[in-house]
Amino acid sequence: MSAGVDLSQFFDTFFDEADELLTDMEQLLLNLDVDNPDIDQLNGIFRAAHSIKGGAGTFGCFGMLADTTHLLENLLDYIRRDEMVLRKDMIDLFLETKDVLMDQVAAYRNQQEPSQEAYDRICAQLRALAEERHGGGQAAAPEPAAAAPAPEPTVAAPEAQAPAAAPAVAATGDTPLKVKVSRLKEADMRSLATEMALMGEVLHEERTSDSVTFWLKTATSQEDIAAVCCFIVNEDQVEFSREAAPVAAPAPAAAPVAASAPAAPAASEAPAPAAEKPAEKPNPKPAAKSAAASMPTGANTGSSTIRVGVEKVDQIINLVGELVITQAMLVQTASTLDPVLHDRLLNGIEQLDRNARDLQEAVMSIRMVPMDFVFSRFPRVVREAAAKMGKNIRLVTQGAATELDKSLIERIIDPLTHLVRNSIDHGVESPERRLEVGKSAEGTITMAAQHHGGQIVIEVRDDGAGLNREKILKKAMAQGFPVNESTPDEEIWPLIFAPGFSTAEQVTEISGRGVGMDVVRRNIQGMGGHIQIFSKPGEGSTIRIVLPLTLAILDGMSVRVGDEVFILPLSNVTESMQPTADQIHSISESERVLQVRGDYLPLVELHEVFDVKNAEKEITKAIAVILQVQDVRFALLVDHLVGQHQVVVKNLEANYKKIPGVSAATILGDGSVALIVDVFALMQTSQNTRTATV
C-alpha cells in the first residue's frame, strides 16, 4: 500500500484470515480423491495458498510464510494444470506443510520468528517434489510473490510497500482507476465493495450477475489494490484500466461503507468503525475480508459479521448473570408487597423479568458455535491414526450444525480425540479380520451431535467388534474391583474409565496405557456432563456424552427439603404429583418404587441423598417430581415445590470442592446459596433401585 498506511493495524485481521484459509485447505486436501481429483477442490486449495502468500508478501515482514506458501502454490498450480499427477504422498506433504504454515502464523501473531529448522525442512521437501516436474532440474526458488508460475504482475510483494508505487495514479492525471472483477458470487461483491472503499473514493459501481466494476479515485498503487483483491479472488479475475466514471451515476458502493468507514481520497487515512468509541484502542479487525470475516459496514450489506474478542462476550455474560441475580432479589422483595397498592411496580418487575430473559438468550446465542468447528478436525485424525494401525476407516459426521457454548466446544476436543483414537485402536478391526467375520474391509466411525431438551448429546460410534466383556471382567477382578460373573453389562462397561485400566496387550502410539479414558471421564464431569457406554459383541460400541448447552445460566425448578433449597434443571422435569398409598410399592426395606400410569419408577428420597434434617418422612405428604435423563425416568421425593426461575450457575468445585450429587451452585433472590442437583448422579441411584426391582 502507499507509504502513508500503517500496515501493522491489519496484522490481526490477516492472521485470522490465514487461520481460516489453512483450516479450509486441510479439509479440501482430506476430501481430495487421489485418483480423480476435483478441479474445484484443487482450485480452492490453490486459492487458499495464493491468498496467504499475497497477504504475507504485501506486508513484507512475514518472509518465511510468503516463501513457504509460494512453493506450495507452485506445486498446486502444476497439479491443477495437469503438469503433475497427484499422489497420496503429495497430499501427506501438503498436510504437513499446512501444519508448518499454522505454526508460522502463530509465531508471527505472537511477534516471534518461526522455526528455521521447520522452514528449511519443509521448503526442501517442496523443492524436491517440484524437481520431479523439471525432470531433476532446479526447482523454483522460494522467491516472493512475483515468482509464481503464472504471470502475477499485480501481486508483486516487494513493490507492494514501496513509496514509488503511489505515483502510478498521479502519472495519469485525474482519470479514475477502473477495476473490473469477473466470475463473482454476491458475497464476494459485497466484500470487494468494502475493500474498494478502504482504498479510496468509489466514484461509481456497476454490477452484473457475476461481475462488478468500480471507478476508483485513489492514491493507492494498482499493485496494492490487486494484492488486496487477491484476498478474495484470483489475479486472473481482476482487470485494470483508466477510464472516466459515468457522469450521471451516484456511488452506491460507497454509501453502505460510509456508515462505518468513510471513504477517503487517500489510502493513508485508516478508517475506523463508527461503532467503536474514540477513546478505545483502534480495532485492526475492520480491515475487511483480509481478516476472514466480512465487517458490517452499513444497512445494505446483507448478512455480514464482526469479530469480537471472547473476553468481551464473557464480560457481557457475567453482567447478564448479575442482572439475573439482581432481578431475582427484586422479585423476592416484591413478593411481600400488596399487588393492589404496588401494581405498577410489580408490572415493571415482570417486564424486567421478560427483558432479562430475552437479553440472556440473545447474549448466550453469541457464544454458540456449531459442532462442525469440532468435527472438522477429525478427518485428519482418523486418516493418520488409521494409517498407522494399517486399518481402512471412514469417518461420518452427523449434526454438524448443532450448536454448543464456545467454552465447552474448546474443552470437548481433547476428550473426543481420545475416544476416536480409542475406537480406531481397540474398536474397528483390521481389514483382514473384518472380511473374515463377513464385514466390509472398511470400518466406519460416526460422530454425531443433537440437542435433547436443554442439553447436547454427542456420540462416537464404531462398527467394530464391540467391548470384550470377558477380558474387561477378568482385568477388573484382577485389580480388585467389586464385580463378578453376574454383574450386568451396564456396570461392566464403565470400568474402562477407571484410572490405569486398560485391556490392551501392548502399548501403541495411539493408546494402551490406561490413562486416556480416565482423563476423558474427568474432563466431561468437569464440564457438568456425563458419559455413557453401549456395546454389542460384533456390532460395535457407542460412547455417549451428555453436556449442558451452556455453563452460564439455566432454567431451574427450586424445591425445598427440610430447611434447604435445591435446584433441579427444568429440562429434566416432566411432572410432579403427590403420591398416594396405593402407588407406593416396597421392593426391600429401604427401596421403593412409584407406580405412575402403569410404569414403576424408582423412588429417590432427596433428604436421604444429602442427609437433610427435619425433612418430611411420610411419602404421601411429600411431593414426587418425575425426572427424565435420556431414556431413564425416576421419581424424586421433596417436601415442597418453590417455583421456576432462571439461575446463574456458579462452579462449586472451583470455589469450594466437588460434592457428590451436586453439579454446581447458585445465588437465590434472598442472597442465600442453593445447590444445583446432579440429576445424572441421582439417575445412577435410581438404576440401582431398578436393578433390585428386576
DSSP 265: S
Q: For residue 390, what is the domain's CATH number?
A: 3.30.565.10
Q: Three cell numbers at 130? A: 517440484
Cell of 417: 480425540
Q: Which of 632, 421, 610 is nearest to 546 (CA)?
A: 632
pLDDT for 292:
33
Looking at per-residue confidence, does 14 or 658 come out higher?
14
Q: Are residue 131 and residue 41 in the same domain, yes or no?
A: yes
**For residues 638 and 607, what is the distance between their CA atoms, to the nearest angstrom?**
7
pLDDT digits (tens, 9 = 90+) for 115-159: 999 999 999 999 999 888 766 444 444 444 333 333 333 333 333
Does the pLDDT of residue 432 top 90, yes or no? yes
C-alpha 363/C-alpha 354 separation (Å) is 14
Q: Does one domain contain both 390 and 537?
A: yes
Q: Are residues 320 and 383 in the same domain?
A: no
Quote the CA–CA distance of 97 and 87 in Å, as a whole number.
15
Cβ neighbors of 593 (< 8 A, separation 6 or more) are 584, 585, 587, 600, 601, 602, 603, 689, 693
Given 131, 153, 175, which residue is the final one in a domain? 153
Mark whether 513 and 566 lie in a shared domain: no
Number of domains in the chain: 5
- pLDDT above 80 (res 412): yes
In-domain check, residue 429: yes
User: Residue 86 sits in a domain of what CATH number?
Assistant: 1.20.120.160
Same domain, 53 and 144: yes
180 has which bridge partners? 213, 239
Specify whether 419 is located in the same domain as 316.
Answer: no
Which residue bears the cell 485428519?
A: 380
210 contacts 270 by C-beta, under 8 angstroms: no
Choose the weakest-confidence range: 146-160, 339-353, 483-497.
146-160
> Residues 174-180: what's their mean pLDDT?
88
The whole-number average pLDDT for the span 609-638 is 89
Among 47-56, 165-174, 342-351, 538-547, the range scoring the smallest mean pLDDT is 165-174
Select from 135, 153, 171 the last residue of a domain.
Answer: 153
Residues 99 and 74 in one domain: yes
The pLDDT assigned to 302 comes to 39
Question: Is residue 316 within 8 Å of 302, Cβ to Cβ?
Answer: no
Q: How confident is the model at residue 462 (pLDDT cuts 50, 70, 90)?
A: very high
Report yes or no on 300 lying in a domain.
Answer: no
Residue 259 has pLDDT above 60, yes or no: no
pLDDT at 4 over 90: no
Q: Do 224 and 104 have their domain in common?
A: no
pLDDT exceeds 80 at position 392: yes
Confidence of residue 535 (pLDDT cuts 50, 70, 90): very high
> What is the average per-residue pLDDT within 5-26?
82
Q: Tens digit of pLDDT for each residue in 34-74? A: 888 888 889 889 988 988 988 888 787 888 999 999 999 98
Lowest-confidence region among 13-27, 75-89, 259-273, 426-440: 259-273
**Are 538 and 608 within one domain?**
no
Last residue of a domain, one of 320, 353, 369: 369
The confidence score (pLDDT) of residue 626 equals 93
Give the confidence band of 508 by pLDDT, cuts at 50, 70, 90.
low
Residue 533 lies in a domain: yes
543 contacts 611 by C-beta, under 8 angstroms: no
Q: What is the pLDDT of residue 503?
A: 63
Cα 195 vs. chain centroid, distance in angstroms?
Answer: 28
Distance separating alpha carbons of residues 276 and 282, to the nearest angstrom:
8
Is 302 domain-assigned? Answer: no
Contact 424, 570 (CB under 8 A): no
Q: Is residue 400 part of a domain?
A: yes
**pLDDT for residue 434:** 94
Q: What is the dihedral of CA 222, 224, 227, 228, to 10 degrees?
A: -110
CATH number for the domain spanning 267: value is 3.30.70
Residue 1 lies in a domain: no
Better-predicted residue by pLDDT, 295 or 345: 345
pLDDT, mean of residues 661-687: 80
Domain that holds residue 363: 311-369
Residue 586 has pLDDT above 50, yes or no: yes
512 and 654 within one domain: no
In whole angstroms, give the CA distance from residue 631 to residue 129.
56
What's the confidence (pLDDT) of residue 252?
44
pLDDT higher than 80, residue 211:
yes
The CATH number assigned to the domain holding 667 equals 2.40.50.180
Residue 618 is assigned to a structural domain of this protein:
yes
In 3D space, the residue among 135, 137, 152, 136 whose CA is nearest the CA of residue 66 turns out to be 152
CB neighbourhood size of 594 (10 A): 22
The pLDDT mean for the chain works out to 79
Residue with cell 532446479: 138
Say whether both 16 and 123 belong to one domain: yes
pLDDT reported for residue 406: 83
650 pLDDT tier (thresholds 50, 70, 90): confident
What CA–CA distance (Å, rounded) separates 194 from 286? Answer: 10
* pLDDT confidence tier of residue 685, bands split at 50, 70 and 90: low
72-105 pLDDT tens trace: 998 998 898 888 999 999 999 999 999 999 999 9
Q: pTM higher than 0.85, yes or no? A: no
Count CB-CB contacts under 10 A for residue 82.
Answer: 9
- In single-letter form, the type of residue at position 173 comes to G
Least confident of 55-64, 305-314, 390-399, 425-434: 305-314
pLDDT given at position 306: 73
For the cut 90, the answer to whether the pLDDT of residue 460 exceeds it is yes
Residues forming beta bridges with residue 624, ordered by sequence position: 577, 637
- 299 domain residue, yes or no: no
Tell me which residue of 421, 448, 414 sits closest to 523, measured CA to CA.
Answer: 414
Cα separation, 625 vs 631, in Å, equals: 16
Question: Which of 43-47, 153-157, 564-568, 688-692 comes out lowest in average pLDDT?
Answer: 153-157
Q: At 502, is the pLDDT very low, low, confident or very high (cuts 50, 70, 90)?
A: low
Kindly report, residue by residue over 353-374, the tens digit of the pLDDT. Answer: 888 888 888 887 888 889 998 9
Q: Which of 570, 574, 590, 538 is nearest to 645 (CA)?
A: 570
Strands lying side by side in the sheet with 573-577:
573-577, 623-629, 632-638, 599-605, 592-596, 584-586
Residues of the chain with pLDDT > 90: what percent? 26
Alpha helices in 111-210 (DSSP H): 116-133, 157-160, 167-170, 186-199
3-state SS, residue 442: coil
Could you tell me if 50 and 142 lie in one domain? Answer: yes
For residue 616, pLDDT beyond 60? yes
DSSP 281: P
